With several copies, the nearest count.
Chain A
Amino acid sequence: MTSSVLDQLKRKEIVDLLDQGKRIDGRAFDQSRPLSIETGVISKANGSARVRLGDTEIVTGIKIQPDKPFPDLGDKGIFICTAEILPLAHPDAEPGPPGEDVIELARVVDRGIRESGMIDMSKLVLEKDKSVIGIFADNSVVDHDGNLFDACSYATTAAILSCKIPKWEIKNAVPVLVEDHESSPPITTIPVSITMGRIGEHILVDPNAEEWECIDARITITTNSDGNICALQKGGKNGFTVDQLSKCADIAISAATKIRERLKQTKG
């Protein structure tokens, strides 16, 4: 928990470069790292994706199975999102139950999917109030080089877009699988999260691990296909001015467009 002399030198180097308009890895301030998306990588899952965002790598699997609805939400399917930073992903990652960082990560990714209405959950009801389809999205962080929010968000979105939903019929009050009747998920929009870090007055899109260490504050802004904002999460040890928040919104809306096009290609 102590910032060493080395860390302080690194921070100084990063900030000095920023003041000259440069990022340490040569990207533009509003530029994400190279994004690779591969779907269908886990054939035992109903949907899956392997996403690399720079050197951050995620494998996400979707499992779909009948479940009971949440109380008072008997006309909606279930969506549950988890994350684990595998201990092989980083020297500081430890096995065991998720800490607050990982819980926040999973909940932010979850909220982006849920609040955007990406999946039409009303189409996932087998028998109202009794039996619905549950979608589990589990994110395994395989290599951690910063900005897990966006990497997990893209991996989850891509895995959902590529998944096939099995068919169940209710027989004697029990859901029974109908073989060979898979369908595409009922997608209404494609949410894209853009996470930005503030270092001094600079706003950086998709900070890598070295930049992440220097962040004063961060914000994740998720937008839907209409360019509207559907989820927000501020974090970090400092805050944002209202002007900075306005700027972040503009950046997020703009930066999301290209990534949404990439995600659309995984569809179908």
Chain B
Amino acid sequence: MGGRESTLVLLDKNGIRCDGRKIDEPRKIMIKAGVLKNADGSAYIEFGDNKIIAGVFGPRDVHPKHLSNTDTGILRCRYHMSPFSVTERKNPAPSRREIEISKVIKEALLPSLMLEKFPRTVVDVFIEVLQADGGSRCAAIDAASVALADAGIPMRDMVCACAAGKVADTIVLDVNNEEDQAGQADMPVGYMPNLNKVTLLQLDGVLTRDEYKKCIDTAIGGCKLVYQIQKKALTDKFFENGGNQ
């Protein structure tokens, strides 16, 4: 952030980005629901070079019991990166970064779930990043929300997530890894498209007041694209593969 030197042309004179995309074009996204046998719900996402699996268990009993809540079910979330998911081998123990991301993902998903229907229980969302690229927390939320739907957890809305950012003084959709390193700002946004609420919002980098607003709007545009792909993944699972699994 904040202008690290680079010879990379982030945006050419035709408005084309370093990976060939237009400013409002997301990377390639593929989501598949119901990919695991043991999990109650699951989804696999490829989002750019991100490859992420999410598995859901629950509602189920809480251990240790003192964590349970007599008024509502609780949500636990673990975002974890495999040692081979990044360029330098990552220590398998959870880093402070992974712990923070686990928490913001939990709070991004929580508004979408009707956990008050299941007091004293827990829903566990486990996210494994097999390969990491820019925007992995957004991709993780996208997969997790599909996995929660696949698990049949009652939901108020899906949560879809996509980042926007500032690159070469321009607000662009879905910042990739190179743009994140060399660019000026990266703002991941999580969004419930039917309830019209932002449930994840973070920022690295500097934005003016106006850019802030434009960035949110751009990211929400991306979220709406993701939403269509999430819906298709669930439809494919239930109508194409549903019968024989």
Contact = CB atoms under 8 A, between A and B. Distances in A.
Interface of A: 1-3, 41-45, 48, 55, 57, 59-63, 65, 71, 82, 84, 86-91, 95, 97, 100-101, 103-104, 106-107, 111, 115-117, 136, 138, 140, 142-145, 219, 224, 227-242, 245-246, 249-250, 253
B14 to A, nearest CB: 28
Given A2-B70, A44-B85, A90 B38 contact: yes
Nearest to B199: A239
Contacts of A60: 84
Interface in B27-59: 36-39, 42, 49, 51, 53-55, 57
Given A2-B69, A44-B85, A115-B2, A249 B212 contact: yes
A168 to B, nearest CB: 15
Interface stretch (B91-99, B134-142, B227-235): B91-99
B135 to A, nearest CB: 15
A230 B205 contact: yes
B126 A143 contact: no
A61 B54 contact: no
Given A95-B126, A230-B203, A239-B198, A48 B84 contact: yes
Contacts of B217: 242
B85 A42 contact: yes
Contacts of A62: 84
Most chain-B CB neighbours within 10 Å: which of A48, A103, A233? A103
Interface SS majority for chain B: mixed
Interface string B59-71: 0100000111111
Contacts of A249: 209, 212-213
Given A88-B36, A88-B55, A242-B217, A228 B1 contact: no
Contacts, number: 199
Interface string B210-240: 0011001100100000000000000000000
A61 B111 contact: no
Given A2-B71, A86-B126, A227 B84 contact: no
Interface of B: 1-2, 36-39, 42, 49, 51, 53-55, 57, 60, 66-71, 74, 78, 80, 82-89, 92-94, 96-97, 99-100, 102-104, 107, 110-111, 124, 126-128, 130-132, 187, 192, 195-209, 212-213, 216-217, 220
B99 to A, nearest CB: 5
Contacts of B92: 82, 84, 138
Given A43-B131, A63-B84, A228-B209, A95 B78 contact: yes
B76 to A, nearest CB: 9
Contacts of A89: 36, 38-39, 55
B46 to A, nearest CB: 11
A232 B192 contact: no
Given A45-B84, A61-B85, 18 more contacts: A41-B51, A42-B130, A57-B36, A63-B88, A65-B88, A82-B83, A86-B80, A100-B99, A100-B100, A100-B102, A115-B2, A136-B89, A145-B37, A232-B203, A236-B107, A239-B111, A240-B201, A241-B196
A88 B51 contact: no
A188 B151 CA distance: 46
B103 A245 contact: no
B100 A104 contact: yes
Contacts of A250: 209
A44 B131 contact: yes
A154 B207 CA distance: 21
Contact of B206 (A1, A71, A228): A228
